[in-house]
Structure 1
């Protein structure tokens, strides 16, 4: 997961209205391409719509309603900007925090992002500024990036800034300020020390980046803060080296998720055949409709369900992608028949491997095992950070 702020994209940084400039974005685009070449999936959260919109129309002022209109004007330009730097198709995804608080919309967004990654596209996410009044007013793309990192089960959140990470003081005002290579915990004192204004074109300063890192940490995701204006720093990322600040994850993401799935109340049960049970255990696969024998209970999409085999033993638990009635209609059928049977499809699996925990063995399906494609991201970087 990579978040890029408007201060790295806007042209003529000292003069509002300069549109979008590829001077720094080109290096970040190369990093994305290199990560994808290494079989790492990347989701991009990008600001810059307001700056792009301001270059298309003469409009003085900086009021909230005006910024909403400018964001609407500039969104198409922002996507075209990234498409011009990307060798793969770019997909626009507009989200608000409400999309991530509402369970149904959360699951729909997650399914769409997974499908885009499976198709080989680069999802470019931005806040839906035209309707997200509070988010635009607060400049919350940093925190949105943390929420989306959790949504796609990212291994690492990268936040590109216009300075080299976190310092002991303001590097432009304090000559004695020293870089801080690692942060174990984001404390209230650290947040207070990081408070300060953002650039003329940006809305989030270092405090919002640390807030985002703290939220990602609680989800088991480390955050790397680095200078997106330094070509050497950006190039080093592709080699697994961070010149910046690493905010550590507070817990193991997969372990925390598995523990929750183990103990969350189940709303129903899926009976699966022997072939499906073997695929789950031996290949780390998702549960496909062809392996489902029956659905018991009344559950909704996103509920936790138990997986039982031929006997009555519980083999696993997971989040179901379809409600009970839909599962009954697609049970035993091929994934390609889902849309013909129920009129739509959220994906080809009934329970995705990322949302599954097996109860009768110590090891769990690996994110990189053979099976249905699921979100992955940079994993080596946190292990090879340079001070």
Structure 2
């Protein structure tokens, strides 16, 4: 890289509570075969320092296929059959989780997701609930695409975009993308000596995508373009993206202290506004949840979740994960008060209506949490 080229300016990170850290194969793959802890250690130290500050981090990590190749002492080949890549991923997943676990005193949890898990609303909610519970337990979720069962036409395709989806899934405040160059440039810095660093991107226009090149290494599946796609997806959900060089220990040490040396992609709006907009515009399913005046007041005045104790009943035949209307019933008649994503089906709600949250499992034989609608999945009308 040209030594005279301008460097990225230091920027103060906004305060964040929960983040997704995406780590690509190029940072984990050994030069010969298998995985190397060389860069993973510094990345893990950033995660540990963040946890010590009371923050939560979900890692989206590539590297399973490279780890599988290392076990079999097999070199990467272009155009490898889908079944071969799936088999290598299956062999390498345990190695990948083992690599991360060696750096943490907290337990590491493996979470494998597919396109169908994120397209199907009920499975999406189950994945969200699992990740939230893992964070509540103090564990470090390590997410990867479930390559062993994915098919070409339904693959998420790259972990940059998966990381953006996971960031929205867990209501993250920030998406950190660790790569093997210092940030986003006006051209490919490996081939263009005139490439200039871009410290901040207010809005991702087609001109920025035109600057992005292809994949930077033979190990990963994503290049700079997929990182811009991820930043655009995250930005639409109100999440800012921070791109930096994960091979540099000094960059990661500064990141842990709240300073970015790389590129900041701003979100179009704040995270809460983006989620509330989505909740306000998702089509409603036929059916309603009927609540008493106390529940309506708690949601409206205190921002509370909807608990079964305040529910009078349910109308229709909606399913868990559907967007439904919440209607208050009282002496003055009915009043629309909210809409939200129901954690339970209409049939389940009719059975637990008026009961205490602790009774849900005794009544149904299972439970999806104490809330009928969580406050994060609810918008007032």
Q: Deviations over 1:271-313 (max 9, x none)?
A: 3345534543454332222232322332211222233335322
Distance 1:82 1:61 in 2: 23
Picking from 185, 192, 199, the partner of 1:167 is: 185
Distance 1:185 1:291 in 2: 43
Residue 66 of structure 2 corresponds to 51
Residue 266 of structure 2 corresponds to 248
TM-score for the superposition, normalised by structure 2: 0.86
Q: Deviations over 1:98-153 (max 9, x none)?
A: 22112222222122222222222211110111122438988511111111222222
Are 1:127 and 1:135, in contact at CA under 8 Å, matched by a contact in 2?
no
Are 1:83 and 1:90, in contact at CA under 8 Å, matched by a contact in 2?
yes
Residue 2 of structure 1 corresponds to 21
Matched ranges for 1:102-113 at <5 A: 102-113=120-131
**Alignment gaps of 5+ in structure 1:** 360-387
Distance 1:355 1:173 in 2: 47
Distance 1:132 1:240 in 2: 37
TM-score for the superposition, normalised by structure 1: 0.85
User: What is the DSSP-based 3-state SS (H/G/I as helix, E as strand, rest coil) of the residue aligned with 1:35?
Assistant: helix
Picking from 112, 127, 131, the partner of 1:94 is: 112
User: What is the DSSP-based 3-state SS (H/G/I as helix, E as strand, rest coil) of the residue aligned with 1:43?
Assistant: strand
User: What is the DSSP-based 3-state SS (H/G/I as helix, E as strand, rest coil) of the residue aligned with 1:242?
Assistant: strand
Matched ranges for 1:134-283 at <5 A: 134=152, 139-263=157-281, 264-265=283-284, 267-283=286-302
Matched ranges for 1:48-127 at <5 A: 48-62=63-77, 63-64=80-81, 65-127=83-145
Distance 1:323 1:57 in 2: 47
Distance 2:46 2:295 in 1: 38
Are 1:267 and 1:304, in contact at CA under 8 Å, matched by a contact in 2?
no
**Alignment gaps of 5+ in structure 2:** 1-19
Picking from 321, 326, 341, the partner of 1:307 is: 326
The reply on whether 1:338 has 2:357 as its aligned counterpart is no
Greater than 6 Å deviation, 4+ residue runs: 135-138
Q: Offset at 1:61?
A: 4.9
Distance 1:20 1:136 in 2: 27
Q: Deviations over 1:288-345 (max 9, x none)?
A: 2223232233221122223333532222221101100111112222323322322222
Residue 342 of structure 2 corresponds to 320
User: What is the DSSP-based 3-state SS (H/G/I as helix, E as strand, rest coil) of the residue aligned with 1:299?
Assistant: coil
Q: Deviations over 1:192-223 (max 9, x none)?
A: 32122331222211111111112222222221
Q: Deviations over 1:3-42 (max 9, x none)?
A: 1011111222xx2x1x222221122212222222333222
